[in-house]
Structure 1
């Protein structure tokens, strides 16, 4: 069983030197959780500048779906780099982009014919969806959710409602967006309990929201994460998306699924929305789509993506190298990594729920596949948030060679590569238990 190897104080001398240089020349707007300077990685393991080895259960924020530097992905990148680096899909046709568009269009849920727009990131995929929804519907209003993270560009940021710091001093943003409560059953915004609530979070939209303040016939789209990501890896009730989709159809409001973090096999299915039996009108993809290469995609019904030439474009979007990396990634997902995500996700949930029996501070364990979170509380009855304990646990885990990330106000997220092994899950759980015991045992 492979274990982390920590040979120096953290950060080590070389990492400390590089961090000092970083502080002198790199934007201070980035958020760094701990002083890790990554030098290389393979599979679930990363090595820092001083030779320390860490078990990575973050996958570069759910990006490296096939693990760091999967040989087949690297081979695809090298092969394409020797043929064509760039030609711009905005003005020319090229094979890699066409093949990937066909693949994604056919993978999307349902029998509906789809078309694909390529960008370079999740924010760009959301921006494209935002613009297409307006273009198609000729409507100006949109709905999004509290706790949502859709990106940091001005349009995507306008839809985001995750942390106030992300919007501070950037107003005015894009107008006409109304944020509504997400179905966070552990902390129900309506003070109700599922299933007795009757999915009040959907019913509330029609009455009072549509009845009193937001004319539904002026709403272009609703932007929703199948499982809310940065907001806390919050899994909605099984019937939520179906009821919400039905309501949106009633008013001809487009259903935009932000699958940037939840898509591409992370939940054990290609798209998280498949768990809920809903076929979105538009899907935004990025992160795990190309195993670390910059790529975003917006997949929409062909009857919706009817905008005219010049309406929207991207010089670098759908770069041939990134497209080939995506094709290799999808092959690996279909060959077994999605199934592994489901199996290892189940193992992780069982392990975390076992820890929950021993540690009172673990208030809620939730997730589907390898999109899992545990919420830290000071008291299970009051559910008082323990953000400081969460942050300390992350640091203690890091000092032991385990990489984890926060989400929401007080949760720890687990989004490892879909190639994670049974042993690697067990090692991660053991180190986590030690960290929790030291902080809140």
Structure 2
């Protein structure tokens, strides 16, 4: 466990486990390394973080200057040495090694350079799948049907038999909207009714009836992507949306709970009822004005918007409202899918009456796409289409990921590590009530709120200087998004360093 100090040797902090302290200096910065008697799921993973320079360091700053000359780099935090990064640890170009609880915005299921994934490229057939990247909608390889069935459909949400592959989360949601609109219009026309000439000609000039004024309902605080259509359902940060034209689509309130949950049961139940009533109001309002709501999109946990959670009862009732009004129930699992909540799909926690109509994925699933019920698959070709329609190379990676998840029982690891993390966050918010509140989440998909945005940003920055790569979400929350190989000893490192940062906060 790395610890920066002002120089010299200070007494070791007793963290209740075997540790070995090694000291060295780089300028005025010195470092602790704590070596634990524990085993990692990735051979060769460091025993803890180590920080040798300020972050970003001099090499990162130099590279930032070079890149800034040719593109916008305001979002770049540091430059990574991906050769030296391994497991739960990310190494930068200045020789710093950080425990990564952010994992490339929650997109690395097995951390860095997992040996099982590296071995995939030892197979020449797999290399050719990467080199000869096909236009899957037109020229798929002979093994594509088998791979889609054995890899993607093997982990499909229960009740969803069809899948469309895409490149990323945004384009997955964007194209799933098209499936919803196509399905909705098909139900209005009837199964055997073809397009009229008026529809064919009017759609070419963006007019009704060929381009109907249908809509998708989304929620305040939601994030569903930054592409043009998906952006009309994203409401987390103004910087994503400002100056960009948007559809006039309905927006409803997402529950804002009071914490601790067990102490505010009646208030939070009332909040569910308020938000659900608003959903119905928006649907009836838009339907009345001819902008029929074809679908409702919702995240199981609003990630970018601040890790906002809702109860299983909220989602159960939301699905019932969708059925009542003939809307598709679309669950966006781009961030929550693939295991971080302790189940393969977060909506499995909700005990829904029936499967969602559509579930999108990306991030930890390595490629984008969406599962759907058979009736949402278009009858005609080219209605949902692009050149690549996904990537066979990424599906190979997913195959390796799923194999490791099963072999190493990683969903159980997530549940155990998540319990350790969440209990630790509960302890910290009790210890520092003037700084923290509302620890929450499922599995290792966790967050805790700070009392101000300024404090949150300061804590995230100082955690980095202690060897912890974390991230923020919403206005004042710190989010935790470790890999599925994140174990209880990693949770201890994070919690120890977080406590130290909090103690040093003035």
User: Is this a same-fold pair by TM over 0.5?
Assistant: yes
Q: 1:270 aligns with which of 319, 323, 344?
A: 344
**Distance across 1 between alignment mates of 2:342 and 2:215:** 34
**Distance across 2 between alignment mates of 1:169 and 1:244:** 32
**1:75: which partner in 2?**
119
**Distance across 1 between alignment mates of 2:351 and 2:172:** 23
Alignment of 1:153-172 (within 5 A): 153-170=227-244, 172=245
- What whole-Å deviation, never above 9, does each CA across 1:12-68 have from its counterpart, x for those lacking one? 22222111112112334x523x34544442110111112111110011111001111
* 1:372/1:413 contact within 8 Å kept: yes
Aligned positions, number: 420
Matching of residue 27 in structure 1 with residue 55 in structure 2: no
**2:177: which partner in 1?**
130
Matching of residue 416 in structure 1 with residue 482 in structure 2: yes
**Distance across 2 between alignment mates of 1:387 and 1:217:** 37
**1:121: which partner in 2?**
168
**2:58: which partner in 1?**
13
Task: Say which SS state the counterpart of residue 169 (structure 1) adopts.
Answer: coil
Structure 1: runs of 5+ lacking an equivalent: 378-385
**1:181: which partner in 2?**
253
**Distance across 1 between alignment mates of 2:327 and 2:482:** 35
Task: Say which SS state the counterpart of residue 339 (structure 1) adopts.
Answer: helix
Task: Say which SS state the counterpart of residue 302 (structure 2) adopts.
Answer: coil
**2:7: which partner in 1?**
none
**1:236: which partner in 2?**
310
**2:412: which partner in 1?**
339
Task: Say which SS state the counterpart of residue 366 (structure 1) adopts.
Answer: strand
Q: 1:253 and 1:24, CA in 2 relative to 1: closer, same or farther beyond 3 A?
A: same
Q: 1:334 and 1:307, CA in 2 relative to 1: closer, same or farther beyond 3 A?
A: farther
Task: Say which SS state the counterpart of residue 239 (structure 1) adopts.
Answer: helix
**Distance across 2 between alignment mates of 1:282 and 1:135:** 13
- What whole-Å deviation, never above 9, does each CA across 1:255-275 have from its counterpart, x for those lacking one? 111000000111111100000
**Distance across 2 between alignment mates of 1:137 and 1:211:** 16
Q: 1:90 and 1:403, CA in 2 relative to 1: closer, same or farther beyond 3 A?
A: same
* 1:135/1:307 contact within 8 Å kept: no
Q: 1:375 aligns with which of 449, 460, 463?
A: 449
Task: Say which SS state the counterpart of residue 423 (structure 2) adopts.
Answer: helix
**Distance across 1 between alignment mates of 2:410 and 2:305:** 26
Task: Say which SS state the counterpart of residue 375 (structure 2) adopts.
Answer: coil
* 2:251/2:282 contact within 8 Å kept: no
Q: 2:129 aligns with which of 75, 84, 92?
A: 84
**Distance across 2 between alignment mates of 1:95 and 1:70:** 28
Task: Say which SS state the counterpart of residue 62 (structure 2) adopts.
Answer: helix
Task: Say which SS state the counterpart of residue 450 (structure 2) adopts.
Answer: strand
Q: 1:198 and 1:395, CA in 2 relative to 1: closer, same or farther beyond 3 A?
A: closer
* 2:360/2:369 contact within 8 Å kept: yes
Matching of residue 53 in structure 1 with residue 107 in structure 2: no
**Distance across 1 between alignment mates of 2:337 and 2:80:** 28
Q: 1:351 aligns with which of 410, 418, 424?
A: 424
Q: 1:321 and 1:197, CA in 2 relative to 1: closer, same or farther beyond 3 A?
A: closer
* 1:136/1:307 contact within 8 Å kept: no
* 2:272/2:314 contact within 8 Å kept: no
Matching of residue 146 in structure 1 with residue 220 in structure 2: yes
**1:320: which partner in 2?**
392
* 1:217/1:251 contact within 8 Å kept: no
**1:428: which partner in 2?**
494
Larger Rg: 1 or 2? 2
Q: CA deviation at 1:70?
A: 1.2
Task: Say which SS state the counterpart of residue 435 (structure 1) adopts.
Answer: helix
Q: 1:406 aligns with which of 463, 466, 472?
A: 472
Identify which of structures 1 and 2 has the higher relative contact order when contacts are C-alpha pairs closer than 8 Å and 6+ apart.
1
**Distance across 2 between alignment mates of 1:399 and 1:98:** 48
For structure 1, which segment, 99-108 or 344-353, has the greater mean C-alpha deviation from structure 2 after superposition? 99-108
* 1:59/1:415 contact within 8 Å kept: yes
Q: CA deviation at 1:101?
A: 2.5
**Distance across 1 between alignment mates of 2:479 and 2:372:** 29
**Distance across 2 between alignment mates of 1:310 and 1:409:** 41
**Distance across 1 between alignment mates of 2:90 and 2:491:** 16
Q: CA deviation at 1:78?
A: 4.6
Q: CA deviation at 1:197?
A: 4.7
Matching of residue 285 in structure 1 with residue 332 in structure 2: no
Task: Say which SS state the counterpart of residue 439 (structure 1) adopts.
Answer: coil
**2:6: which partner in 1?**
none
For structure 1, which segment, 406-415 or 76-85, has the greater mean C-alpha deviation from structure 2 after superposition? 76-85
Structure 2: runs of 5+ lacking an equivalent: 1-35, 37-46, 186-211, 260-265
Q: 1:306 aligns with which of 378, 387, 402?
A: 378
